[in-house]
Structure formats: structure tokens, C-alpha cells
Copies of this chain bind each other. A is one copy, B any other.
């Protein structure tokens, strides 16, 4: 492991004096276009540097590699490390917590889930889905499963403030057919389905799709079968060291969508917030905010 951490570049510098003329030719070529010049097969690389394959093979051995594949792998690892960026993975968020504390382990898993989820969002699809959700010419239906019912509820509360014409389909699937009856082309169905995927939701999605309803699906990384009929699907990474799945990334995607819809309909949304504020005031349901 002692020599494992030095870069190929450093190895070349270190052994340069021991290299022969052709080998130096190849070394120069590699450094010229580092490290991409070394990423093809030995045959291709050798040809491009205008030396023979044995020359390259001998040289990488001089550099301390067992063979060309090992050399190739080393370059790859370097490149990968570069992309990963500063290795300061936010490991210690819960700064006060001891190393192995649950909070830290949990945080690490969550961070990774959020990263993965975001990396896998197709921006164009996100924008299109936001536009669909913002389209108030049709109704917006919300529905979730056993676990995600709470998310659908949360979505309902927020979308209510952002746009009119919303229906929260209760989790009692017996009543779903009644809702489907009123669905029409141009309507939107925002559907949550994480494992274990529920057959009822799939049937609902199929019925809705058949009526020309656009479906936005928020699911997990293993993709609910509803994705088959959904117009827009988003995968959220949900694994945590636990018997159940985390829905933090799911929630994040939901909030991001709400924010996007809000931004899109801002002119109208603003007015709604003001009216909502006045209504709260009128009903005296809520106390004055502490700040702001």
C-alpha cells in the first residue's frame, strides 16, 4: 500500500531517468494528454504514441505496475477521485455526536440518499412535471399509499396554498372509483408509491391514464410498476440502516416540485397567500408569529 497512493505522473517523474528513448516518447505523450491518453487499450495507446505495444508494456512494469491492466486501473482510479472532488464527505454533520452515534450514521445515509436522488433527477423532466402540476386548467389529484399517504397529505396542504382545483384522494381505496369517474383529459394525478408497492395504486393509475389523465409519479429507486403508465417518474433513494425506508429524499423532491410550481404561478400564488393570511387572521386560529 505504500506505493499505492502516488499518482502515475509522479511515478513517471521518479523513473524517468531509467526510461529508454521510446519509453520516454510514450511518457511524454501521456503527460501531454494526461490521463486520457492512457485510458484506451494498450494497442491503441501505443499506436497513438507511435511506439510498439511491448515498449508500453515494459515501461508500465518499470513504473511498478504488474501489467498494463493495473496501470490502466490506476489511471482510472485517479480520474474517479478527481471527480469525487475534495474527499470531505460531510461525514460529521452532527458535530457533537460521537463517531458511531446513531445520529451520525443516520445522517450519512440521508446525505447519500439526497445526493443520489438529485443526481438522478432529469432536469427537463422535472421542469415538465412542474409545468404539468402548475396547470390549473385541469384538476390536480393527489394520492399516496400506506406510508406515503402522509406525504400526499403534506402535498395537499401546500398545493392548496399554491393553486386551486386540488383533490386529495383519501387512502380508503374503496372511494377511488368515484374520483376516477370525474377525472378528465387534462387533469393531473400526483401519485406516491414506494415499496411495498400497492396493487390498488397501480389499478388507479391505469384507470386514470385510460381517461387521459397525466400522471406524475414519485417513487423509490426500485421504481413502482406505476412507472409504466406515468408520464413523469422520479426515483428517490430511500435506504437507511433500518427495517423501514426513509422518505426524506421523497419529501425533498416533493417540496422542490411545490417550490417550482409556486415559482411558475407566482403572480397568482402571491394573491392566494395574502388571502390565506387574512383568513387565518379572521379565524384567530393561529397566534401571531414570533418573528418575521
Interface SS of A by simple majority? helix
Residue of B nearest to A256 (CB): B106
Give how many copies assemble into the complex.
2
CA distance A17 to B217 in the complex (A): 13
- Tell me, yes or no, whether A179 is within 8 Å of chain B by CB: no
Q: A96-B123, A287-B196 are in contact. Are A256 and B9 (CB under 8 A)?
A: no
24 pairs, CB–CB < 8 Å, chain A vs chain B: A13-B235, A28-B222, A32-B116, A79-B79, A83-B83, A92-B118, A92-B119, A93-B114, A96-B122, A102-B259, A103-B118, A150-B157, A151-B154, A153-B153, A196-B287, A199-B285, A200-B285, A222-B291, A225-B287, A225-B290, A243-B262, A243-B270, A243-B273, A248-B251
Binding site for B on A (CB under 8 A): 9-10, 13, 16-17, 24, 28, 31-32, 34, 36, 39, 76, 79-80, 82-85, 88, 90-98, 101-103, 106-107, 110-111, 114-116, 118-123, 126, 146-147, 149-151, 153-154, 157-158, 161, 195-200, 202, 221-223, 225, 227-228, 235, 240-244, 246-248, 251-252, 255-256, 258-260, 262-263, 269-270, 273, 280, 285-291
